[in-house]
Amino acid sequence: MGGMLYKLFASASLLTLGLYHLVCTFFHVIKSPQSYAAKPFYPLPRVSGNNNNNRLQKLPLIILILSLAVAFLHQTLISFYSDPLVKGSTPVHRFSSLNSAAVFLLFLIVAVYLLLSESASSLIPLPSDLLFALASGGFFLHYSAATASAAIQTSDLQAHCDSLSARVSALCSLLCLLLACRPRLFIADAALAASVCLQGLWQLQTGLSLYVDGFIPEGCHRLLDVSGGVEGSTQCDIQESKLRAVSVLDLMFTVHVVLVVMLLFVTYTMVAMAAGVRRTGSYEALPNNSSDSSNHIQMKSLTGTQA
């Protein structure tokens, strides 16, 4: 039950963060495409004359810090519990959990410094390219930790879930590195937000497939160490059931990718409508040089005179 609750918390946090970043990215590129540049954090809009709203500008960053703190504490606490259901038993489980906790601690330190630099004038804010580079390193460490966690699992389903989660983290690391080098690369910024949403959906699917009886694939069952009283995730004893369960997980991952793409289209449409952008029909491309420009204008004038 505890594992499912943590997956729900992680899913809600990642979905909220990813969707908020996606909305802010679309809004800024629609309103000011010429001055657009990716940012690691978008504060809430400032409302003139409303001091309470201005104090809540950093609310998304505060929620991120709280979420990272909960994740860090969770990984640290579970490292003190025994887990004989992983390869290498409890010692391997302890170091694997502490490895994940260290990754969350890295993100937490960066987020806290960002909050303090935005609030206190004594701290110099870090450049956006450096923040994206640090985020890239953090996501790569999370990819490494998830890959190592998948390697020690006796549950084939949990190993496959961790492996797919690691791939999403690797994609986030690559996108952050691109944004550190090319901050005006809008497609990388939108893809990063979409990848975070995908990670949130996959955390939810992982919790359902591993801890909820109604979603456990056919032919699989929950692991249980009777002597130690430790309840693990899901295991498939028969090879045919294992292959079928892995195929189901791959299908669900693809379904979540499709859902994220649909979410991206819907979000862009809603943000464009909220920003007052309307489709005005077709347009003609502007000429590239001055001579073509004069010829283009003369042809337009001649066409108007003949009409």
Of the candidates 56, 35, 59, the one whose C-alpha atom is nearest the C-alpha of residue 47 is: 56
How far apart, in Å, are the Cα atoms of 237 and each of 112, 202, 234, 243?
45, 24, 10, 11
Please give the mean pLDDT across all residues of the chain: 81
Average pLDDT rounded to a whole number, residues 214-235: 63
Report domain extents, the chain. Answer: 1-224+232-276
Average pLDDT rounded to a whole number, residues 22-33: 91
Q: How far apart are CA 236 and CA 43, in angstroms?
A: 46
pLDDT reported for residue 287: 46
Q: Looking at the predicted structure, is the pLDDT value of residue 234 above 80?
A: no
Average pLDDT rounded to a whole number, residues 152-157: 77
Q: How far apart are CA 271 and CA 165, in angstroms?
A: 29
Average pLDDT rounded to a whole number, residues 265-280: 82
Q: Can you read off the two tokens belonging to residue 290?
A: 């001055």
Give tens-digit pLDDT for 122-144. Answer: 677 888 899 999 999 999 999 99
Name the residue type at position 101: A
- CB distance 4 to 207 below 8 Å: yes
- CB distance 44 to 53 below 8 Å: yes
pLDDT reported for residue 265: 95
**How remote is the C-alpha of 15 from its chain's centroid?**
7
Q: How far apart are CA 272 and CA 258, in angstroms?
A: 21
- CB distance 216 to 222 below 8 Å: yes
Give tens-digit pLDDT for 60-94. Answer: 899 999 999 999 999 998 888 766 555 545 677 78
Give tens-digit pLDDT for 165-214. Answer: 999 999 999 999 999 999 999 999 999 999 999 999 999 999 888 888 78
- CB distance 203 to 142 below 8 Å: no
Give tens-digit pLDDT for 4-16. Answer: 888 999 999 999 9
The pTM score is 0.83
pLDDT reported for residue 152: 79
pLDDT reported for residue 159: 86
Q: Looking at the predicted structure, is the pLDDT value of residue 47 above 80?
A: no
Of the candidates 130, 5, 148, the one whose C-alpha atom is nearest the C-alpha of residue 87 is: 148
